[in-house]
Copies of this chain bind each other. A is one copy, B any other.
Amino acid sequence: MAHTHQQKPKLIARLRRIRGQVEAVERALEEDRGCGEVLMLVASLRGAVQGLSAELLEEHIRHHVVNPETEPDPGRARAAAELIEVVRTYLK
């Protein structure tokens, strides 16, 4: 998995931040913080997981399906670029 090695440290750092966000929700619940505050923390956790999903999907398309930058078939290259753009729109 060449791409995993290359992106690994960045992705693992991102996962650690997400773990930190999960722990922040746990702490907020344990300390009986307001429900509104907990909801906001969960909303931003959800955004972070959504962002990670979009990045991983894009990586997957580029490294395992079709890389728009290096694909020799121009139709496939364009279709993969369009796919990445739509995936970003849906998961942003």
Taking Cβ atoms with an 8 Å cutoff, the residues of A that contact B are 1, 3-5, 8, 11-12, 15-16, 18-19, 22-23, 25-26, 29-30, 32-36, 38-40, 42-43, 45-47, 49-50, 52-53, 56-57, 59-61, 63-66, 75-76, 78-80, 82-83, 85-87, 89-91
Query: What DSSP secondary structure best describes chain A's contact surface?
Result: helix
A63: chain B residues within 8 A (beta carbon): 35
Q: From the candidates B1, B25, B45, B57, name the one contacting A83 in the complex (CB within 8 A).
A: B57
- Establish whether residues B26 and A15, one from each chain, have CB atoms under 8 Å apart when the complex forms: yes
Minimum C-beta distance from A6 to chain B (A)? 11
A79-B56 CB under 8 A given contacts A12-B29, A50-B46, A86-B43: no
With A and B bound together, what is the CA distance between A83 and B53 in angstroms? 12
- Establish whether residues B52 and A49, one from each chain, have CB atoms under 8 Å apart when the complex forms: no
With A and B bound together, what is the CA distance between A5 and B29 in angstroms? 9
